[in-house]
Amino acid sequence: MRLPLYIAKRYLLAKKSQNVINIISGISVIGVAVGTMALIVVLSVFNGFNSLVQSLFSVFDPDIKIELVEGKTFTPDKNTVEKILNHPGVESFSEVLEENALFMYDDRQHVVTMKGVDENYRKVSGVDTMIIEGDYILTGSKNNNFTVMGRGVANMLGAGPNHVDPVSVYMPSRTAPPTLRPERAFNREAVFPSGIFSVEQEFDMDYALVPIAFARRLLEFDNEVTSLNIKISEGFSHKRVKQDLQEITGERLKVMDRYEQHEWLYKLMQTEKWAIFLILTFILMVASFNIIGSLTMLIIEKKKDMAVLRSLGADSGLIHKIFLLEGWMISVVGAFAGLILGTAVCLIQMEYEVIKLYGTGAFIIDAYPVELQLQDYLYVFLTVLTIGFLSAWYPAKYVIKRYLSENEQL
């Protein structure tokens, strides 16, 4: 392999008799470099958006969520709860009761996902750190209940923590007899806004936190919940704790980590990422066609060299390796140049946020997020090498075979 590699490097670096060959080789390197750079930059931007979404969800969602496999509400078994609390990997435990409810303030109304939570909820989520107005207060005196609303809910209702009047919450009664008076078919409770949080538009427009006792009274429940939320202790494997909790809860309940709580969204983002990867790979393949032209012209120029090598005893396999390595080195040079350029572009964006998102103020961030991942470098490099090998294989195989056969006939 040393001799073919040595000759291939000389061919790559040496000046050709026809200047156009140098130009085409340079264009081939530039095309591969630009395609590689585009792959790294686009994949890194997708990584940035993916990490951004995960960070937003981690504020509102717990590490582990336990729900019914079939059905919506259930009464937690005391023995099961005790086993969960005794698990060394469980740092905090919270009961949650969710249901859609109608919130009314003055003449405004909005259907909200009412989330009844206990005092431990702030320990299993970070929603209390996302308060933009007021305070995270859910329980006050015996006669007053409080709510922490999403920014979108507060805007729709025109309510806030500085307002004196309470928000009315309506829920269809589960036990009311049939009646011609609609107001009797609903349970109504009053709740005072204490704070407004802002996480992400989907959460801000849908959710309002209330005390779980308030939610149970409105829904006419005793101890029912829709989910159990758990925060995992630092240093414990999320996967291992999840498996242990699944064994404790049994088949009736499903234990979900953060990925499984929004599995469809994460899968969609990964699908989009690799779809773009494939599209850019096809573009890179088109750019690599220049390698075929460059290598073919080089083979034509080196006909005399091939004849000399043949007379010295070189077989067709050795000559094939020389030009195959020549074409492959063009891809390697372009790949390394593209990786360096792509990394530089990403680092500049991470440091200086050069490329901004349009509509400043409408987004959580002002510039495109970027995150470099080692596995992307590996995938891109292997992809470029594979495309480069295939681009060099055809001319090295068939063009050389043609000229060698012509020389033999002569």
Phi, psi of 135 (to 5 degrees): -135, 160
What average pLDDT score do residues 104-126 get?
A: 94
CA distance linking residue 382 with residue 121, whole number of Å: 46
**Cβ neighbourhood burial of 88 (10 Å; 0-12, 13-18, 19+):** exposed
Is it the case that residue 167 has pLDDT exceeding 90? yes
CB 136 within 8 A of CB 194: yes
CB 96 within 8 A of CB 121: yes
Considering only residues 194 and 10, tell me which one the structure prediction assigns the higher pLDDT: 194
State the pTM of this model: 0.80
Q: Using 50, 70 and 90 to split pLDDT, how confident is the model at 53?
A: confident
What average pLDDT score do residues 276-301 get?
A: 82
Residue 208's beta-bridge partner residues? 114, 149
Domain locations along the chain = 2-57+265-409, 63-260
Q: Using 50, 70 and 90 to split pLDDT, how confident is the model at 209?
A: very high
What average pLDDT score do residues 71-86 get?
A: 95
pLDDT of residue 34: 93
CB 167 within 8 A of CB 193: yes
Closest CA to 166 of 143, 184, 150, 197: 143
Segment among 46-50, 53-57, 176-180, 266-270 with least mean pLDDT: 176-180
Collect all residues with Cβ–Cβ distance below 8 Å to 256 and sequence separation of at least 6.
64, 65, 66, 67
CA distance linking residue 29 with residue 337, whole number of Å: 8
CA distance linking residue 125 with residue 204, whole number of Å: 15
pLDDT of residue 141: 63
H helices of 1-157, in order, are 2-13, 19-60, 78-86, 121-124, 151-157
Residue 193's beta-bridge partner residues? 147
Token pair for 354 = 């050069």
Is it the case that residue 405 has pLDDT exceeding 60? no
In tens, the pLDDT along 345-374 reads 999 999 998 998 875 455 567 889 999 999
Is it the case that residue 408 has pLDDT exceeding 70? no
pLDDT of residue 360: 47
CA distance linking residue 226 with residue 97, whole number of Å: 5
Closest CA to 21 of 324, 300, 355: 300
As a whole-number percent, the residues of the chain with pLDDT over 70 amount to 89
What average pLDDT score do residues 197-215 get?
A: 93
* DSSP symbols for 36-53: HHHHHHHHHHHHHHHHHH
**Cβ neighbourhood burial of 405 (10 Å; 0-12, 13-18, 19+):** exposed
pLDDT of residue 410: 45
Is it the case that residue 84 has pLDDT exceeding 60? yes
In tens, the pLDDT along 138-154 reads 986 666 899 999 999 99
What average pLDDT score do residues 63-67 get?
A: 96
- For 384, other C-beta atoms within 10 Å of its C-beta total 25
CA distance linking residue 376 with residue 374, whole number of Å: 5
Highest mean pLDDT among 1-5, 294-298, 397-401: 294-298
pLDDT of residue 116: 97
Is it the case that residue 294 has pLDDT exceeding 80? no
